[in-house]
Amino acid sequence: MLFRFSILVLVLVLASMSSLVVGSANISISDVFSIFAGGNVPAMESTIIFDIRLPRIVLAVFVGAGIAASGAAIQGLFRNPLADPALIGVSSGAALFAALYLVLGAGILSALPGLTLSAFVGGLITTCLVLEVGRRGGTISAMLLAGVAINALAIACIGLLSYVSTDMQLRSVTFWALGSLGGSDWDGVLVASGIPFVILLLFLERTRLNAITLGDQEANYLGISVSALRVRIVLLTALAVSIGVALTGVIAFVGLVVPHLIRLTMGSSHQIVIPASALLGGILLLIADTLSRTLFAPAEVPVGILTALIGGPFFIVLIMRQKGKLGI
């Protein structure tokens, strides 16, 4: 198992190095090492590395890790292989508040200085709504259905805002909703630095998540408060995903695909699934972002399109493989 974790770390390092050197302006490996060593290199190359590519790499790793680890925790909590963080409403809520800010301007959200904070607050508000409805329903299924309903409402509202928006506003909403790391900077990295701490808190719940996969009643027999665990996992997941969505827009399928790949190759214990999902999630989003800015350079493809192209077929295969268990 240690060997497989080492492989993930090695792939992450190699993907980071590749992302540093490729792009509209290709920079050699030797120049990259010279820049980090303080050698004599052109100021333009140093600016590209330190101010553009490096913060983008770090942000991609943090956001991808947070979404994937959250997906692993949500799947364990719901005991549902098709669950992902979007089911608790955080992504759609963040997208809705971002669309409100872009289309209606800061006036309606005057207390929220900026697009990022608007999206973050929107994600947390919708998550709290899902939690409250689920609490009144009293079951995991009630929370799951509440998430589906609130997602549908948020998407409908985004569609309405798109209908009344100008062409420029519609372009901004669409590009943001599809995800992009094009605006990455060190301020964003500083905000995203809270994600590793959230992942650590999710990892500390690993034993209780393993227990709840046996069923609520069995977990209660083991002395675990299922309702309290449910609230903690949903709030931690909402925090990690809200930060990511607020900084990069909606990133599709990472929270669904990555945990399954880990379970298929490394086992189903959350002691392994959560940290390994974080590593693979960071790798996947970093590779997708590198492709998004190099495939049609200097134009940039929204990274959410690439993750959806990867995750969509996997989702279909997953449904087909699980059709007996899911009754479909």
* pLDDT of 175: 73
Q: Which two tokens stand for residue 264?
A: 């298929």
> Which amino acid, one-letter code, is at 238?
A
Using CA atoms, how far apart are residues 88 and 86, in angstroms rounded to an integer? 5
Q: How far is CA 325 from CA 186, 315, 320, in A?
A: 45, 15, 10
| Predicted confidence (pLDDT) at residue 325 exceeds the cutoff of 60 | no
Q: Looking up tokens 């959806």, which residue turns up?
A: 308
* pLDDT of 137: 65
| Predicted confidence (pLDDT) at residue 323 exceeds the cutoff of 60 | no
* pLDDT of 7: 92
* pLDDT of 35: 73
22-54 confidence digits (pLDDT tens): 877 777 777 777 777 776 767 787 888 888 889
* pLDDT of 318: 67
| Predicted confidence (pLDDT) at residue 161 exceeds the cutoff of 60 | yes
Q: What is the DSSP letter of 51?
A: I
Using CA atoms, how far apart are residues 195 and 198, in angstroms rounded to an integer? 5
- Of the ranges 4-8, 128-132, 255-259, which one carries the lowest mean pLDDT score? 128-132
112-160 confidence digits (pLDDT tens): 556 777 778 888 888 888 878 777 766 667 777 777 888 888 888 888 8
* pLDDT of 275: 95
* pLDDT of 140: 67
* pLDDT of 253: 84
Using CA atoms, how far apart are residues 298 and 300, in angstroms rounded to an integer? 6
What single string gives the DSSP state of each residue in 134-184? Answer: HHHHTSHHHHHHHHHHHHHHHHHHHHHHHHHS-HHHHHHHHHHHT---TT-
Q: At 95, which CATH number?
A: 1.10.3470.10
Residue 100 or residue 287, greater confidence: 287
Using CA atoms, how far apart are residues 251 and 315, in angstroms rounded to an integer? 15
| Predicted confidence (pLDDT) at residue 274 exceeds the cutoff of 50 | yes
What's the total number of domains in the chain? 1
Q: Which residues of 29-49 are buried (b: 16+ CB within 10 A; e: fewer)?
A: eebbebbeeeeebeeebbebb
Where does the pLDDT of residue 328 fall: very low under 50, low under 70, confident under 90, or very high at 90 and above?
very low
Range of the domain at 209: 2-326
